[in-house]
Structure 1
């Protein structure tokens, strides 16, 4: 720490303390990072005393600091990409800290796995709908510990027993005398207190913030245009660049004729790399026009023959093989030999992320440093991969994170930053690299294609045997190799191994089948995307086979899952389930215990004579444990349902001659505002620990829609997106 303090003092004397210096010296904003608190401890440690007492801040852990003016700053370990996590996490910390919530400000955490690593992954990552789930206990302990230190400081000053003091609204109060001291007045003294090893957390009955539908902290600046996303970063002397990569997966640059591009006003430089070409200009328009003027001959390589037809042929063949057993209970051979049997297979296509903010990164590379401005879900991996690309030690790379204009798993990858660093190495000064929508969609990291095969037997109206096989890519094997054990991708089988129904003979297998050439990664909803769709679609077919109502059929096998059964009963009531409907209008249901939440959804939809689907109404009931901010939960479910239904109706990436065929929103459609029906979300009050909510709606919508179409037309669709020709009047599956 001595070197860091010297660096701080040197710049303090010069009167020029930059954010970058504070970050890189480990002294972010008042010596926050100088206080090295082990991630899981939030427990005793000696607070670091700042060199200048007039600038001192109370920094009890890596997430909280309070200055002598009483200003409270919360450092966010997770990133905000529209899911409302900045507000929810701030509520958790402020609740236990007893801070004045409207006066709290937020900062992005700098890259640091030790301080800000997600407790589930051990990496500083935002994803898998676990921001609240993963941090619930740790952040509460952090806030409660800081509050206890402030109380100790006040009690010491008053010479009273700390047990006779309480805290509220940024103050410590002595209950007997009524004396009060603000957190600001106590900040310096609190820094000298010993952090408590064990601190009592609030009883949920005493919560004053958690459980209230508070307004989101990020909304005002998003409404007035002040919000800064990665794509908004502006630096003095910055150039703009946009890129073109080979349209064929894995292809390389051959020859480049840049004579016309160089004549475009504002074009400054053409950067030719082995696998892409970038045009650098004074502004984005110049860079784009310059890129359009390039004549590039590509060496397409061995993947120029790859097509969707071949990929599906290979996947279907792989799905016929035996897989690795992910879970097995009872006697599956005996179970499948008992009662009536039904077999089915379900398929889901490649999907792009198509975030509203295209991938981008602003980078400044010098001989001795690299600084990055972007929006990412995985800061430390961006930092380490950028260091490799820049040829620099990790500590010489600074990452400034911003709000994300959508992530959906795309920004769990560092590839766009690595590419920007490679371009920036050829440019003097900072350069903002922005992918066009076409480049973004055609060079994505796609949701894998999946094929799920199911065999089940029925006796006395219930399932007695269940064999389920997932076939598809192993994203975990690439993204987090230590988690890929014994040939099982834990993400690919998520919501399959923990299917909610009471089935005595239960067997799940996984077949790893990687598509040739096509890069695959996480997509909002991850593993439950394919498994919830297949399971819940199949449940409706089984219900029809035994002549039961789909909800009654499910009720009979949810005895061991009372939270999900309660959600199902509530959604049945609120959706008007069982009430008569006109011809070609149906209701479909899906249930799932995904991401630690329990959700039941009913979609009401109409199918016209041409096979077009009109959404009439969506109803969801969810038990997500303690609802930190009910308003955010409702918003996330509404948005997630629309996102998932968009994919069900239109989403598909197809490959021909090694090329992605879709390029923009005209052929990779989104659900339009006039197509969105009334969405009702009913949040069940619960005292359980919070579950995840950002992806539950995404996975709930498609099977409920498919089952609504099944109810309306009698056609059992087994593949997405919806094939309108199969449900048009006069056609059969």
Structure 2
């Protein structure tokens, strides 16, 4: 029987009870509905509601507009719109009537039900709030209907809600929500509500225009980097170029001579130049003469890292998934096959570089930024400022890209340390070079695989050893038990394929101190999808089987996975011959509550240069809330994943990160972007996640297509064109 550690997010992260509602009168009149995540029952009067402020809440104002404090953050994934659609659907209001605002930092009120604290990540936003927010909207609707029935002296069953109003079906009377709000606040909170039947949905499942688009088009949207405070100074920083190194000495004179520079702030591991504007701060930083204590890592390189991983791969692993007896099955197999796969460090390189604005005033600290973890940011700021958390206010903003980087709070700690030496508010902005060279990277992985095949070429044993650093051990240490990192093997453990004998284990191997790793748009699945799908393609080739047919034969009892595989193959014209110099490759992914298959078609020029011509993707993400967002998420994920597959690599020389800007850490360009088709399966299942699957599945589809075109098997990313030209 397979182990229980087969990659469901650990239950210990989730609250013990379901969450529900409190209600009361809003300031200025109206109905407040608070979405209380730990769980509340019974009824609540106005005093009780006020005591829970600022809850995650729905506010129905006298003007009929619905204010929605969104528990998740918007970083380009369209979640403000999708979550608002859930509220609007059940509340029976037009989407345009919903006004969203960022939630304050509060784990007790805004915890992600799947993860147990206030966090946006793991493709969980819709999965976590699909039911709670619909129930919140349905409860609000029920109370408004009850208020109207009370006003008219009739049975609520004779009333219905529609377009922001309650209508008396028998008499044709109509009361707008704004007219009912105060009366509704005095209604008992329903202990149970009836959600709409999906066949009656009028908004969910339709292509809705995103609520955040107009402000982004006009430039009025405020990201963390846009924050302005009266009297604010701008600072930019330089940390020791060798990871783990410290500041030895600095000559401030050249920087202070730059017009607009106000001061130089020295930290133990970095220097900041504070100025009237970014231009002066940057010039001042460049003018500084800094001496660094480079420490023990000054000679460390990528070659050293790979050597350490290779040695660790020969150690003892911790099991993450096991079925049958792999060793016995390998010994009895008609044929065995082994391979080693490698993946590099990756930076996040979000379009908005790291920034954080801090204002310290006596016993108060205000922080303005864009973060995926508001309560963690508050805790970090409080510790750095020497204040209790209740004295710190986080002002969260739109994120110009997160990808996991803004799950970290290192920049918050640094900004507060700088602000403690500056009079008045200061905005700390990292240059692009600082952003890339002092990122927390996606781990570098080294994977060793072996398989046994029977006489017909079917796999009778599948063994996969994952070697790399543990993000969980640093980020959630309570869940790192007995040397096992559940995320490191995610996408390898619990596969959709029916391997009769399976062993997936993990060996932890950390880089030297000072070089931390973190989440990167689906860390475990992003890495393991490439490894498993590449190796499975190798087995299909050894068996002389078609790659799609080979996978399909292993998917008994997996109708959703088989469905997307069949759909992607059909839409891509799988089986129809391609022109010379071209090849098609396939990958299958089951993760984040979704299923996705991708077919990539590539071409190679005579010099070995590779072009991705076309990507066909089939996705079953359960119930679709906004089909436009589904397609956009998949398309964006594929482009992000292609960038990593073709160019993404952080390398080390003499303890330093070599890459520094988009010239050396390249992005996929518009003329390199393939035609992308996304085919969505209509499903009645609960929604799955989509922020990461598109990124995870593209690299294996591409390298499998390269093999189909050239016979060259690629087991390391990024793709090395020199290997292709040699083929």
- Give the TM bin, normalised by the shorter chain: over 0.9
Superimposed CA distance per residue, residues 127-152 of structure 1 (whole angstroms, 9 cap, x where no aligned partner): 01111011111111111111111111
1:143 aligns with 2:137: yes
Paired with 1:633 and 1:237, the residues of 2 have a C-alpha distance of 43
Query: Unpaired segments of 5 or more residues in structure 2?
Result: 1-24
Q: What is the TM-score when the length of structure 2 is the normalising length? A: 0.94
Which residue does the alignment assign to 2:502?
506
Per-residue deviation at 1:29?
7.7
Pick closer, same or farther for the CA change 1:265–1:50 going to 2, 3 Å.
Answer: farther
Which residue does the alignment assign to 1:241?
235
Paired with 1:596 and 1:477, the residues of 2 have a C-alpha distance of 24
1:366 aligns with 2:358: no
Q: What number of residue pairs does the alignment pair up?
A: 700
1:655 aligns with 2:649: no
Paired with 1:361 and 1:441, the residues of 2 have a C-alpha distance of 16
1:606 aligns with 2:603: yes
Tell me the secondary structure at the aligned position of residue 566 of structure 1.
helix
Kept in 1, the 8 Å contact 2:43–2:189? The answer is yes
Within-5 A mapping of 1:590-605: 590-605=587-602
Per-residue deviation at 1:36?
6.9
Superimposed CA distance per residue, residues 186-212 of structure 1 (whole angstroms, 9 cap, x where no aligned partner): 111111111111111111111111000
Q: Choose the corresponding residue for 1:403, options 393, 398, 404.
A: 398
Kept in 1, the 8 Å contact 2:33–2:140? The answer is no
Which residue does the alignment assign to 1:587?
584
Paired with 2:124 and 2:430, the residues of 1 have a C-alpha distance of 29
Tell me the secondary structure at the aligned position of residue 407 of structure 1.
coil
Tell me the secondary structure at the aligned position of residue 523 of structure 2.
coil
Per-residue deviation at 1:300?
0.9
Tell me the secondary structure at the aligned position of residue 588 of structure 2.
strand
Kept in 2, the 8 Å contact 1:57–1:67? The answer is no
1:456 aligns with 2:451: yes
Paired with 1:314 and 1:60, the residues of 2 have a C-alpha distance of 50
1:230 aligns with 2:224: yes
Pick closer, same or farther for the CA change 1:719–1:362 going to 2, 3 Å.
Answer: same
Q: Choose the corresponding residue for 1:292, options 286, 293, 299.
A: 286
Superimposed CA distance per residue, residues 192-235 of structure 1 (whole angstroms, 9 cap, x where no aligned partner): 11111111111111111100011111111111111110000011
Per-residue deviation at 1:657?
1.2
Kept in 2, the 8 Å contact 1:315–1:472? The answer is yes
Which residue does the alignment assign to 2:433?
438
Paired with 2:31 and 2:592, the residues of 1 have a C-alpha distance of 32
1:202 aligns with 2:196: yes
Kept in 2, the 8 Å contact 1:42–1:142? The answer is no
Paired with 1:61 and 1:171, the residues of 2 have a C-alpha distance of 25
Pick closer, same or farther for the CA change 1:486–1:203 going to 2, 3 Å.
Answer: farther
Paired with 2:670 and 2:638, the residues of 1 have a C-alpha distance of 13
Paired with 2:154 and 2:53, the residues of 1 have a C-alpha distance of 24
Q: What is the TM-score when the length of structure 1 is the normalising length? A: 0.93
Kept in 2, the 8 Å contact 1:249–1:303? The answer is yes
Superimposed CA distance per residue, residues 90-139 of structure 1 (whole angstroms, 9 cap, x where no aligned partner): 10111111122112110000000011011111111000111101111111
Which residue does the alignment assign to 1:354?
349
Which residue does the alignment assign to 1:385?
380
Kept in 2, the 8 Å contact 1:37–1:45? The answer is no
Q: Choose the corresponding residue for 2:569, options 572, 590, 598.
A: 572
1:260 aligns with 2:254: yes
Paired with 1:58 and 1:451, the residues of 2 have a C-alpha distance of 49
Kept in 2, the 8 Å contact 1:60–1:195? The answer is no
Paired with 1:32 and 1:166, the residues of 2 have a C-alpha distance of 20
Per-residue deviation at 1:288?
0.6
Pick closer, same or farther for the CA change 1:652–1:29 going to 2, 3 Å.
Answer: farther
Paired with 1:112 and 1:370, the residues of 2 have a C-alpha distance of 16
Per-residue deviation at 1:499?
1.0
Which residue does the alignment assign to 1:326?
320
1:309 aligns with 2:295: no
Tell me the secondary structure at the aligned position of residue 328 of structure 2.
helix
Which residue does the alignment assign to 1:20?
none
Tell me the secondary structure at the aligned position of residue 527 of structure 1.
helix
1:727 aligns with 2:727: no
Tell me the secondary structure at the aligned position of residue 579 of structure 2.
coil
Paired with 1:668 and 1:60, the residues of 2 have a C-alpha distance of 42
Per-residue deviation at 1:343?
0.9
Tell me the secondary structure at the aligned position of residue 46 of structure 2.
coil
Paired with 1:30 and 1:115, the residues of 2 have a C-alpha distance of 23
1:70 aligns with 2:64: yes
Which residue does the alignment assign to 2:517?
520
Paired with 1:33 and 1:360, the residues of 2 have a C-alpha distance of 37
Greater CA drift, 665-674 or 483-492: 483-492
Paired with 1:270 and 1:381, the residues of 2 have a C-alpha distance of 28
Query: Unpaired segments of 5 or more residues in structure 1?
Result: 1-26
Kept in 2, the 8 Å contact 1:78–1:126? The answer is yes
Pick closer, same or farther for the CA change 1:35–1:486 going to 2, 3 Å.
Answer: farther
Per-residue deviation at 1:35?
7.9
Per-residue deviation at 1:486?
2.9
